[in-house]
Amino acid sequence: MTEYEWNKAGAWLAYATSSTDAAKDGAFARRTTDGAVRALQTGRGHYKNLAFDDAGQQLAFESDQADYAQAVSPYRLYYWRVGAEAPATELVSASTAGVAKGLVVSEYAEPRFSKDGALLYLGTGPPPSAPRDPNAPEPVGVDLWNYHDPLLQPMQKVRAQQERERTYRAVVHLADKRFVQLATPDLPAVTPGEDPSRALGESDVSYRQELSWDQTYNDVYLLDLKTGQPKKVLEHWGGSATLSPGGKYLLYFDEKNSQWFTYRSADGARANLTEKLNARFQQEDNRPEDPGPYGAAGWTADDRTVLLYDKYDIWEIKPDGTGARMITGGEGKTQQLVFRYRSLDPEERTIPSNKPILLATTDDRTRATGFYRVNLAGSAAPEKIVMLDKAFANALKAKDADTVVFTLSRFEEFPDLWVSDTSFRDMKKVSNANPQQADFVWGRSELIDYVNADGRKLRAILTKPENFDPSKKYPLMVYIYEELTQGLHGYTAPNVGTSINVPRYVSNGYVLLRPDIVYETGYPGQSAEKCVIPAINTVVAMGFIDPKRIGIQGHSWGGYQITYLITRTNMFAAVEAGAAVSDMVSAYGGIRWGTGMSRAFQYEKSQSRIGAPPWDAPLQFIENSPIFWIKKIQTPYLTIANDEDDAVPWYQGIEFFTAMRRLGKEAYMFSFNGEKHGLRERDHQKYWTVHLDEFFDHFLLGKPRSAWMDKGVPYLERGTRDVTPLFKKKGAAVTTSSSGGKS
């Protein structure tokens, strides 16, 4: 058996077989009540992509059996009415009316039925390639980069398999067996909704070059499923667009003017839904690109209304723009509570308006989470059900009972399973998956406020050891990326990896700081400096930090910021800056090898936040590139730059390390062979974690220097150190850490 599929009721099992005996190849269906088997199609070939409709009364599958004896054997689509005595019938092949010349049924797209069972969607594509002539000359191993290319050669290489398996969506109207091609090479992406009359189409074909320095743009279409005829609705569109469940409206957010719009399918009428509302629906973002919306909760039945989010509250709006109301009554903004609709039914397609709905809620001031409820049919303010200084997650309701299962966590509390009814009044913990944590010194996290150098009020997570004594002086470890305080109640298990493990450091006597960072376009390095240093100074002023024992660690974007910071301050006793860009000028023209994309977009529109190319903003590129200011560095520097990094060019690490070495400055670089942006192999994670911890423990805890720091490791001896004994259980369940007590 190579594949099988049950219908929803479990009454029929469809399966495909493959055997050395050609007579046993085929697609079959077995009735579970009596074991009766129907042979749907048999004979030497491949059978795959079995699919039942929702009612379990229709079955589709694909096979190349009809042409299997030929050099090229394209697939065909077959159809069977469940329970019929007759075998399956051929529904679509290359000769079917409506199938374009040069296209066949594609094995790479699974057929699926529409919800009502009236339509069957499939994919078409080029026929399989003929076997290569063994006498043909081998292709020359060369890539030609042409400035006309829509996509750069590396991106074409990354997408090569995707292109080989490219499919174009089509549909069969089952009532009259009529085939309609929907997607084409010029309109490659077509997404049907639940509406049986139309689908959404998107084409980036005209804008693929812009992807290198800007973002993805599409022309957006509505397609008539009866004819396949597309109608262009949006041009050069950078945002998202979605069909309402009933297909009556296209919903989209215009990032340029910060408004939500609808397009009515019946007559093309457009409506601005939000221009008259006293609320901001666009996110606050500090990247050069136009930020997107806070989002949409969904639609009510029959496309009557759509629910949209502002920063805190939820609005119910008529899709023609004639009416709107805030269903949360402004309680979100008043109390700084972020309300978001939470469905507990995975099969729900629209938001119910005849009963209370559940709102997942986050207190923006404290990061407490919980649930409120509100009734769309009424006008009362949201009712609080439960709010805790913990993180609720993974809530799911039983299908036929008033029982909800979910997880609760804090920094020091493992996310065990809990159950309750939907009132959340009687919550019961039903798992204890991490009892061994009680044997270890852990810690507690809290939010602190600080003011950055521009006078902006920001926050940070401060994590202290479980046995914290405010009269002592502790080393401070800082971890940075961008905004991190949303992770206040996130639980992290002790583990190895690419970055520091927070519980390990806190358990070993460190205080740990994770500040939020905000940015000004054109000045990413300076922005980090304006936030990180004031955050550290705020904690030092509390009196329990030794200012001579401060370290900082970050990876990727965090690594870049740290590399910049040590050209501006000597406050750190040691730093680790992983996979860090050091020269924005050369990095701008590099490739993200994981996607094959040019890195230019990062600097012009995204995370690196310059907002322009180097020829338009040369000073910003130089000012924000640590390599140009390396002579100022007086801080011991550790980095990791893996030789197959698929996000940040590893030669950025090489450039910076060799410059540090040229200047005689203390620097160490680890490069794991075959690893990408983050370590994946467990042995590599262990090896790196041991050395990372030894580095910081020496400079911040005063432990002896490790031999690798003074002598290095010769190439012929690389990787021979065995760190596995350090990960074996010691005799006692509890060991003594440098901070005293449990560890």
pLDDT digits (tens, 9 = 90+) for 24-33: 899 999 999 9
Instruction: Give residue 346's pLDDT band: very low, low, confident or very high (50, 70, 90).
Output: confident
Counting every residue written for the chain, the total comes to 743
Nearest to 78, CA basis, from 118, 54, 48: 48
Nearest to 387, CA basis, from 360, 414, 356: 360
**Residue 740: what pLDDT?**
36
pLDDT digits (tens, 9 = 90+) for 603-615: 999 999 999 999 9
Distance CA 14, CA 58 (A): 11
What pairs with residue 234 in β-bridges? 220
User: Which ranges of 159-312 would DSSP assign to H, the alpha helix?
Assistant: 160-164
pLDDT digits (tens, 9 = 90+) for 418-477: 999 999 999 999 999 999 999 999 999 999 999 999 999 999 999 999 999 999 999 999
pLDDT digits (tens, 9 = 90+) for 89-140: 999 999 999 999 999 999 999 999 999 999 999 999 999 988 888 999 999 9
Distance CA 246, CA 364 (A): 35
- For residues 488, 491, 493, 499, the Cα torsion angle rounded to the nearest 10 degrees is -30
Q: How many CB atoms lie within 10 A of CB 94?
A: 17
Q: Is the pLDDT of residue 557 over 60?
A: yes
DSSP strands (E only) in 227-333:
230-237, 241-243, 249-254, 259-264, 270-272, 296-299, 306-309, 314-317, 324-326
Q: Residue 475 is inside which H or E element, if any?
A: strand 474-479
Contact between 46 and 59 under an 8 Å Cβ cutoff? The reply is no
pLDDT digits (tens, 9 = 90+) for 5-52: 999 999 999 999 998 887 789 999 999 999 999 999 999 999 999 999
Burial status of residue 616 (CB atoms within 10 A of its CB: 0-12, 13-18, 19 or more): exposed
Sign of CA dihedral 583, 585, 586, 590: positive
pLDDT digits (tens, 9 = 90+) for 535-552: 999 999 999 999 999 999
What is the pTM (predicted TM-score) of this model? 0.92
Distance CA 711, CA 253 (A): 59
Token code pair at residue 158 = 């990354």
Contacts 24+ apart (CB under 8 A), 404-408: 404/344, 405/430
How far out from the chain centre does Cα 192 lie? 23
Q: Is the pLDDT of residue 735 over 80?
A: no
pLDDT digits (tens, 9 = 90+) for 465-513: 999 999 999 999 999 999 999 999 999 999 999 999 999 999 999 999 9
| pLDDT (mean) for 72-86 | 96
| pLDDT (mean) for 668-692 | 98
**Residue 727: what pLDDT?**
87
User: Which ranges of 160-223 would DSSP assign to H, the alpha helix?
Assistant: 160-164
| pLDDT (mean) for 284-297 | 93
Instruction: Give residue 377's pLDDT band: very low, low, confident or very high (50, 70, 90).
Output: confident
3-state secondary structure of 709: helix
Distance CA 636, CA 654 (A): 16
- For residues 344, 345, 350, 351, the Cα torsion angle rounded to the nearest 10 degrees is -30
Contact between 261 and 244 under an 8 Å Cβ cutoff? The reply is no
**Residue 340: what pLDDT?**
98
CA distances from 110 to 75, 122, 182 (A): 12, 6, 16
Instruction: Give residue 730's pLDDT band: very low, low, confident or very high (50, 70, 90).
Output: low
Q: What value does the CA radius of gyration of the chain take, rounded to a whole number of Å?
A: 30
Contact between 29 and 82 under an 8 Å Cβ cutoff? The reply is yes
State residue 513 phi and psi, 5-degree precision. Answer: -120, 130
Q: Is the pLDDT of residue 734 over 80?
A: no
Q: How many CB atoms lie within 10 A of CB 465?
A: 25
**How many Cα atoms sit within 13 Å of 680 on the Cβ side?**
9
* One-letter amino acid of 71: A
Distance CA 447, CA 437 (A): 23
Instruction: Give residue 59's pLDDT band: very low, low, confident or very high (50, 70, 90).
Output: very high
Distance CA 4, CA 27 (A): 9
Q: How many CB atoms lie within 10 A of CB 589?
A: 13
What pairs with residue 370 in β-bridges? 361, 387
DSSP assignment letter at 128: P
Provide the mean pLDDT of the chain.
95
User: Which ranges of 279-411 would DSSP assign to H, the alpha helix?
Assistant: 331-335
Q: How many CB atoms lie within 10 A of CB 15?
A: 19
**Residue 622: what pLDDT?**
98
